Amino acid sequence: MRKPLYLAIFILITGPLLAQSAGTTGGDILKVPIGVRPTALAGAYSALGDDVYVIGYNPAGLAKVSQYSFGLDHVESYAGIEIESLSAAIPTKDYGIFGGQLVYRHLPTIDNTLATDPTISASDILFTVADAQQFGKLSIGGSLKSIYSNLGEKQAFTEAFDIGVRVELFDTDFALAAQNIGPSVQYQPNPQGQDPLPLTFRFGAARPVLVSPSSVLLASGEVFNVSDEGLQEAIALEYWHRSIIAVRLGYRFSDAQNLQGGLAAGVALRYNLGKLEYELGFAWQPNSISQSFIANTYTFGLLFWF
């Protein structure tokens, strides 16, 4: 009985929202890629993800996590922007897989030496809790997000939720997710208008294309629509050698002005200490600001499970 109920809720929620048009949005931290692995794969992760990082792409993917897992990531982006994140997944016997993610983005202090205004600090906090259930080859998940933004003397707080499904057919995983469903962002005090959240819809597919005793090659593709960016596509490959070394490559097709678009790449090293397994990862995104200037984003990650 639970499977039809979850599917009905998903259709009722996402159907009317598909008609929303593009425009300016707030809460842009919701569009920042979180996790060293999905970043290296250009965000083509809703159908491929099987670790704590899938929380930010499709909560249904949490059902693929079978062990206690934790992820720590640090991002050094353009203009001095830095992001820290902590992700966790906890399997339970009767209540599916619980997940949580805390993201903190901090920007350099804005100091206008030619004005009398005080220096301005800007930061964002995103906290997510999620749960996923498995029904045979179908998994369904949802997450609740709390977003807090600080800009000088003004603050904004809002909440949103995601819902997603994932199913395995013909050795291929398919995923569908709706993200950032919630009220608009409005800064206090003295609000000057409000901006809707970046409503996002994802459809992805992933499958192994090569499996041997020494090598595994995974392929993933994704189509997604962000309300203020329009339709985009991403493709990715991940190659594992003896389950120890991984090489990742992705490309996101989007508008030239979108700094999240274009090439992404990364590597990872996996090892174990007794029952504790860990993975050290690195991702690189070169963002073309102009013909003569490329802003690089570097992500460093530590994922471990037991």
In the 3-class helix/strand/coil scheme, how is the chain assigned residue by residue? CHHHHHHHHHHHHHHHHCCCCCCCCCCHHHHCCCCHHHHHCCCCCCCCCCCHHHHHCCHHHHHHCCCCEEEEEEEECHHHCEEEEEEEEEECCCCCEEEEEEEEEECCCECCCCCCCCCECEEEEEEEEEEEEEECCEEEEEEEEEEEEEECCEEEEEEEEEEEEEEEECCEEEEEEEEEECCCECCECCCCCCECCCCEEEEEEEEEEEECCCEEEEEEEEEEEECCCEEEEEEEEEEEECCCEEEEEEEEECCCCCCCCEEEEEEEEEEEECCEEEEEEEEEEEEEEECCEEEEEEEEEEEEEC
Structural tokens at position 141 = 């998940």
Residues 58 and 140: their CA atoms lie apart, in Å, by 9
Which residue has better confidence, 273 or 193?
Answer: 273
Structural tokens at position 165 = 């499904």
* Mean pLDDT value across residues 184-204: 86
Position 5 scores a pLDDT of 42
Domain ranges of the chain: 26-305
The residues facing 195 across adjacent strands are 185
Which CATH topology does 26-305 take? Porin (2.40.160)
Position 291 scores a pLDDT of 63
Whether a cis peptide bond, with omega within 30° of 0, leads into 189 is yes
For 221-267, what is the HEC assignment?
A: EEEEEECCCEEEEEEEEEEEECCCEEEEEEEEECCCCCCCCEEEEEE
Q: Is the pLDDT of residue 9 over 60?
A: no
Mean pLDDT for the chain overall: 88
The model's pTM:
0.86
Residues 214 and 211: their CA atoms lie apart, in Å, by 8
Total residue length of the chain: 306
Pick the range with the lowest mean pLDDT from 172-176, 256-260, 279-283.
Answer: 256-260
Q: Predicted confidence band at 4 (pLDDT cuts at 50, 70, 90)?
A: very low
Which residue has better confidence, 283 or 288?
Answer: 283
Residues 170 and 254: their CA atoms lie apart, in Å, by 30
Q: Look up tokens 């998994």; give the residue.
A: 139
Position 117 scores a pLDDT of 67
* Mean pLDDT value across residues 152-173: 94
Residues 231 and 241: their CA atoms lie apart, in Å, by 34
